[in-house]
């Protein structure tokens, strides 16, 4: 029986130089078949919906930076915002849950933040601002990545809190630190939770309103802080992300050919180095 042809150059094999393995031809035809008949894809509107949700989370993260800018650069008094947001959150929890709110957990959070805010205030005084911005940037990136992987996870919450703590350590007064912590937790932990519960109850109008308000706030402040050009850039990239990227995704889903024996077997292999 004749030895099977092997794809190894250093073996002396009893085959002509222009030998073509029959398997190769078969697999090429299979690949061509797959390329001609693309697989079914998800619906465009669903993909847009998913992208929209992710965009919303990212927007919430932007709210955190807006608050920080207000407190750090514009020296706003945070007490009113905090009071308003906290009462809103309380109202919303009473209205939409219609359940007795357990007081223990919020009280623990508030008091521990009160205790720790003086410590946080002096935490990074000797560190330069640039290092803090860098750390915060990386933490935000990790946070967004963790949100994109799993919308609700312990790691993402922790990354967010760490980021908030790092940013809070730049603020100058204890009140600022405490209010900033509280606002950020409300905007980035409670608000997404609230929005998700809206979606679960199929209250799409309310959800749409929140989403629009959210957008309006973010773009208003971006215009105020950075000017029209940045707003345009942000808006354009947001539109591209929400409406353009799903198209590309669907195109990719249609033509992606995974685990084809031709691609895995006849590719140039990676060398194995000792």
Contacts to other proteins by CB under 8 A? 104-106, 108-109, 112-113, 116, 119-120, 122-128, 153-155, 157-158, 161-162, 165-166, 169, 185, 189
Looking at the Cβ atoms of 126 and 205, the one nearer to other proteins is 126
Residue 163 Cβ, how far from other proteins at the closest point, in Å? 9
Q: Which one, 113 or 262, has the nearer CB to other proteins?
A: 113
Handedness of CA 101, 105, 107, 109 (dihedral sign): negative
Cα 207 from Cα 194, distance rounded (Å): 9
Q: Which two tokens stand for residue 203?
A: 């209250």
Report in angstroms how near the CB of residue 167 gets to other proteins at its nearest.
Answer: 10
Could you tell me the smallest distance in angstroms from the CB atom of residue 124 to other proteins? 6
| Residue closer to other proteins (CB basis): 58 or 162 | 162
Least distance from C-beta 189 to other proteins, angstroms? 7
Question: Given the structure tokens 């803090």, which residue do they identify?
Answer: 132
Q: For other proteins, which is the closer residue by CB, 108 or 216?
A: 108
Cα dihedral 13→15→20→23 (10° resolution): -60
Sign of CA dihedral 105, 106, 107, 113: positive
**Rounded Cα gap, residues 91 and 72, in angstroms:** 29
CA atoms lying within 13 Å on the CB side of residue 267: 8
For other proteins, which is the closer residue by CB, 18 or 128?
128
The full length of the chain comes to: 274
Q: Nearest distance from residue 244's CB to other proteins, in Å? A: 35
We find the least distance from the C-beta atom of residue 57 to other proteins, in angstroms, to be 17
Q: Which residue, 158, 137, 133, is CA-closest to 146?
A: 158
Q: Which residue has the tokens 């109008």?
A: 205
**Rounded Cα gap, residues 69 and 38, in angstroms:** 49
CB closer to other proteins, 109 vs 238:
109
Q: How many CA atoms lie within 13 A of 156 on its CB side?
A: 18
């Amino acid at each position: 029986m004749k030895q099977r042809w092997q794809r190894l150059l250093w073996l002396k094999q009893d085959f002509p130089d222009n030998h073509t393995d029959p398997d190769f031809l078969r697999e090429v035809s299979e690949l061509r078949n797959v390329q001609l008949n693309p697989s079914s894809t998800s619906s465009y509107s669903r993909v847009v919906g998913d992208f929209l949700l992710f965009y919303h989370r990212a927007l919430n993260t932007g709210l955190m930076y807006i608050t920080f800018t207000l407190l750090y650069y514009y020296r706003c008094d945070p007490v009113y915002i905090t009071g308003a947001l906290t009462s809103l959150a309380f109202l919303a929890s009473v209205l939409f849950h219609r359940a007795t709110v357990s007081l223990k957990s919020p009280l623990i959070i508030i008091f521990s933040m009160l205790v720790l805010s003086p410590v946080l205030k002096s935490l990074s005084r000797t560190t330069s601002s640039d290092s803090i911005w860098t750390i915060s940037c990386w933490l935000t990136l990790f946070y967004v990545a963790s949100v994109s992987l799993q919308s609700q996870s312990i790691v993402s919450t922790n990354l967010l809190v760490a980021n908030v703590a790092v940013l809070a350590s730049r603020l100058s007064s204890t009140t600022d630190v405490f209010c900033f912590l509280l606002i950020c937790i409300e905007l980035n932990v409670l608000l997404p939770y609230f929005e998700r519960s809206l979606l679960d109850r199929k209250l799409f109008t309310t959800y749409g309103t929140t989403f629009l308000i959210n957008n309006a706030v973010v773009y208003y402040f971006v215009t105020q802080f950075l000017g029209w050009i940045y707003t345009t850039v942000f808006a354009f990239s947001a539109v591209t992300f929400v409406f353009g990227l799903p198209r590309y995704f669907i195109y990719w889903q249609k033509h992606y050919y995974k685990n084809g024996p031709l691609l895995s077997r006849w590719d140039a292999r990676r060398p194995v180095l000792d």
